[in-house]
């Protein structure tokens, strides 16, 4: 299945957001997620099933003004 | 002491964390500023990359309160989603709400801002809206549930100081009891002192410190300016006048009459 992660197309095997994050190397990282522009809380990731073409945002803390 | 959503703060200088030459310099600057609140953001991070994790460790070690922003958001939907993501990652309901309306000036889209503020306040966020000095917009933001306002001094990163002191003075006079923090455009410590002299409760500085030749030294200078400006405000500045008034008493002046 192809999904758009942070603006780049990625091929994934898993369907659940939490597993996809593990697959992409985010395991253990402090990140926040959104799917198709809607916030997905940490606790909801395991039961959030992704579909072909979904847009996933994975954001981490960064310097800001 | 400054009260922001029930939190008492000694320092009236809030510091941004972006654009420093290194994390070590950022740390020095926060300490030199004696800042109790720093702003932070969220950005895309690729899997395996850990830049964000490293940054977050540095901030936590500083022991300061964080004010996450929604910088870069151009729509209500983006800003609301980003605020929720920030609340989860940073563990705070504080959010510096930015909805940008114009890319050259980074001027806030005040229509989107008021709508996003209404949604976020209803969802339990404590919103710090980045706004202009417009009184009507300020009224709408307060009606939306905001209890702090962050009017700009000048466009973000411009270092121009207070572009519209008349408008800012009117804003201060109109909302005497609302904490008002000048958010953007401060370039040098005298601008910050001026903001406090005009009665603003605090200033948020980033580029002026981060891009100084010696950021920690500049942070210390800003801290002094903010203290001086606040003390002057409390002391009650004199009214300016157009003509000279001798400061030395004229009675008894020699060689007259």
Q: What span, in angstroms and rounded, lies between the C-alpha atoms of B200 and B181?
A: 6
Question: B67 by DSSP, 3-state: which?
Answer: strand
Dihedral over Cα of B169, B170, B174, B180: its sign: negative
Best mutation target, B47, B77, B83, B206, to test chain A (most A CBs within 10 A): B47
Rounded Cα–Cα distance for residues B138 and B99 (Å): 15
Bridge-based pairing of strands A2-5 and A8-11 is antiparallel
Of A38, A41, A59, the CB nearest to B44: A59
What DSSP line would sit under A19-62, residue for residue? Answer: HHHHHTT-TT---EEEETTEEE-GGGGGG-B--TT-EEEEEEEE
3-state secondary structure of B15: strand
Q: What tokens appear for B242 in the block?
A: 């157009």
Of the candidates B173, B194, B174, the one whose C-alpha atom is nearest the C-alpha of residue B182 is: B194
Look at the block and give the residue holding tokens 């504080």: B94
Please list every residue in chain A whose beta carbon sits closer than 8 Å to the beta carbon of residue B49: 60
CA distance A11 to chain B (A): 14
Q: What ipTM was predicted for this assembly?
A: 0.96
- CATH numbers and ranges of domains, chain A: 2-59 (3.10.20.30)
Residues B196-240: tens digit of each pLDDT: 999 999 999 999 999 999 999 999 999 999 999 999 999 999 999
| pTM (two decimals) | 0.95
Q: Which residues of B touch A63 (CB under 8 A)?
A: 16-20, 26, 40-41, 55
Judged against a pLDDT cut of 80, whether residue B257 lies above it is answered with no
CA distance, residue B43 to nearest chain A CA (Å): 5
Work out the mean pLDDT of chain B and round it to a whole number: 96
B96 is catalytic: yes
User: Considering CB atoms only, which of A24, A41, A61 is closest to B47?
Assistant: A24
Q: Which residues of A touch B89 (CB under 8 A)?
A: 30-32, 59-61
The count of CB pairs under 8 A between chains A and B is 116
Cα pseudo-dihedral B160, A65, A5, B89, rounded to 10 = -160
DSSP letter for each residue of B180-197: BEE-S---SHHHHHHHHH
A32/B89 Cβ within 8 A: yes
pLDDT of the residue at B221: 98
pLDDT at B56 over 80: yes
Q: In what order do the strands lie in the sheet containing B94-97? A: B94-97, B126-131, B150-151
């Amino acid at each position: 299945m192809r999904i758009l992660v942070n603006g780049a197309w990625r091929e994934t095997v898993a369907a659940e957001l939490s597993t996809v994050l593990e697959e992409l190397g985010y395991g253990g990282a402090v990140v926040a997620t959104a799917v198709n522009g809607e916030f997905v809380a940490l606790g909801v990731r395991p039961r959030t099933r992704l579909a072909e073409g979904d847009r996933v945002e994975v954001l981490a803390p960064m310097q800001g003004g | 002491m400054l009260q922001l959503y029930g939190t008492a703060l000694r320092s009236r200088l809030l510091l941004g964390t972006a654009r420093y030459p290194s994390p070590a310099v950022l740390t020095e600057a926060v300490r030199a500023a004696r800042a109790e609140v720093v702003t932070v953001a969220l950005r895309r991070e690729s899997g395996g990359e850990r830049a964000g994790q490293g940054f977050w460790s540095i901030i936590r070690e500083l022991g300061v309160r964080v004010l996450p922003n929604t910088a870069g958001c151009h729509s209500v939907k983006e800003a609301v989603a980003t605020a929720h993501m920030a609340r989860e990652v940073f563990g705070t309901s504080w959010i510096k709400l930015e909805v940008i309306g114009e890319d050259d000036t980074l001027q806030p889209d005040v229509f989107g801002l008021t709508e996003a503020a209404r949604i976020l306040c209803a969802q339990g966020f404590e919103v710090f809206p980045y706004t202009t000095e417009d009184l009507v917009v300020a009224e709408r933001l307060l009606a939306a549930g905001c209890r702090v306002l962050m009017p700009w001094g000048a466009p973000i990163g411009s270092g121009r100081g207070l572009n519209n002191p008349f408008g800012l003075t009117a804003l201060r006079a109109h909302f005497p009891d609302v904490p008002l923090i000048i958010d953007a455009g401060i370039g040098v410590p005298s601008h910050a002192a001026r903001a406090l002299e005009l009665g603003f409760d605090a200033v948020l500085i980033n580029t002026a410190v981060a891009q100084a030749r010696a950021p920690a030294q500049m942070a210390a200078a800003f801290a002094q300016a903010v203290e001086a400006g606040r003390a002057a405000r409390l002391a009650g500045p004199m009214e300016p006048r157009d003509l000279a008034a001798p400061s030395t008493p004229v009675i008894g002046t020699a060689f007259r009459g």
